[in-house]
Amino acid sequence: MAMADQNASGSFRLSMLIYDSRYRSMTIQVIVLIMVVLGVVWLVDNLLSNLSALDKDPNFGFLWETSGYDINQRLIEYSSQSTHFRAAEVGLLNTLLVAVVGCFFATLLGVSIGVMRLSKNWIVSRLMTVYIETFRNVPVLLWIVFAMAIFIEVFPQPKAFRGDNATAHMIGDAVAFTNRGIYIPRLEFHEGSSFVVYTLIASIIGIFLFGKWAKAHQEATGQILPTFWIKLGILIIPALVVFFVMGKPIQMFYPELKGFNFKGGLHLRNSLIALTLALVIYTSAFIAEAVRAGIMAISKGQTEAALALGLRPKRVMSLVVLPQALRVIVPPLISQYLNLTKNSSLAIAVGYMDITGTLGGITLNQTGRELECILLLMIIYLTISLSISMVMNIYNNSVKLKER
């Protein structure tokens, strides 16, 4: 037997690729790989030949043609004379705006609700349970459409603000809630305003340094400073002083009813607000659950030990439990951020012009370039998602348990 074995390993026969367990799995993998590659090649070839039968060879030249359509919310210069590429950029920025604002507020809301869900107060914790179960169990598209419908039906039309017997009024002559959106004052930056901005930046750095110092001070002396008020002071006072010294270079423009609409202020469109709001409440319900799971994963002993040391309950949460819970919370948080970003593509339901609405909507429809547009969209969403995940993974590495 031993002899036979040695013989076998000495001379390699083709049949061994199938019968010899050392090679078999490799053989199967190679065969499957070849089949997959052939299949993909065949599908792509099929696609290309079908497209050319339709006389539609893939071509991205349309991106540089005039778009011909207008977009209401533009964060960068754009008109109907711009290119489809520019329209896609406008849409991309609109997507990112909703994603960033949405993730920010969803986190704030989600963390608060998750913590409150664990509250000892029966009513509070029940209420939070109701919140979570209502919002995460109804499809987000319905929330988006619902938010928009409420917006349109509840708030007054701009013309209700007109005349002597107006039925609607601006709040403090500065903010107007209408069914087309909320109009708020707009800041305009004049010469000298850069000093104010620099001061503000310096103050933020100052706050950061002060925070570090306060911590060191507390560790050294045990004295806890009222950091919040001091930080607020550092933020506001120098900037205010510079603002007045420079002769008020930043001006506020108030919205005013002119013609059909309010002019002069900043227009937060109903589509933007409805979309963001719906995404925030929906996603926050999931984040709250992740937060609750994270907190419950921390053993009771930690809390008891902290309490035994004399920490107040609030500090137990912020100094002992949350920092440890973060390592459990962050990974599901990443997927919630990704979900929110991808769900923002439902924007068209309320006419918000995100990248799906411009590149994947009007451009696709007007140029008939389905394949190209969808391909680009996929690449763009993939890039956004991978970037979010990369950033969050870096953060995750910084909060995960350090094993020493």
The reply to whether 211 sits near another protein by the rule CB under 8 A is no
Residue from 147, 291, 353, 384 touching another protein (CB under 8 A): that is: 353
Please report how close the Cβ of residue 44 comes to another protein at its closest, in angstroms: 11
From 17-25, 75-83, 93-101, 103-111, give the range in contact with another protein by CB under 8 A: 75-83
Residue from 16, 56, 200, 298 touching another protein (CB under 8 A): that is: 56
Mark 233-272 with x for binding to another protein (rule: CB under 8 A) and - for no binding.
-------------------------xxxx-x------xx-
The reply to whether 58 sits near another protein by the rule CB under 8 A is no
Give bridge partners of residue 31 from the DSSP assignment: none
Residue from 24, 30, 37, 68 touching another protein (CB under 8 A): that is: 68
Please report how close the Cβ of residue 64 comes to another protein at its closest, in angstroms: 15
Residue from 3, 53, 123, 401 touching another protein (CB under 8 A): that is: 53
Mark 97-126 with x for binding to another protein (rule: CB under 8 A) and - for no binding.
------------------------------
Phi-psi region of 167 (alpha: psi -120 to 50; beta: other; left: phi over 0): alpha
Judged by CB under 8 A, the number of residues near another protein is 46
Residue from 16, 17, 69, 250 touching another protein (CB under 8 A): that is: 69
Please report how close the Cβ of residue 140 comes to another protein at its closest, in angstroms: 17
The reply to whether 366 sits near another protein by the rule CB under 8 A is yes
Please report how close the Cβ of residue 152 comes to another protein at its closest, in angstroms: 5
The reply to whether 159 sits near another protein by the rule CB under 8 A is yes
Mark 329-348 with x for binding to another protein (rule: CB under 8 A) and - for no binding.
-------------------x
The reply to whether 43 sits near another protein by the rule CB under 8 A is yes
> Interface with another protein by CB under 8 A: which residues?
32, 35-36, 39, 42-43, 46, 50, 53-56, 68-72, 79-81, 152-153, 157, 159, 179-180, 258-261, 263, 270-271, 348-349, 351, 353, 357, 361-362, 364-368, 370
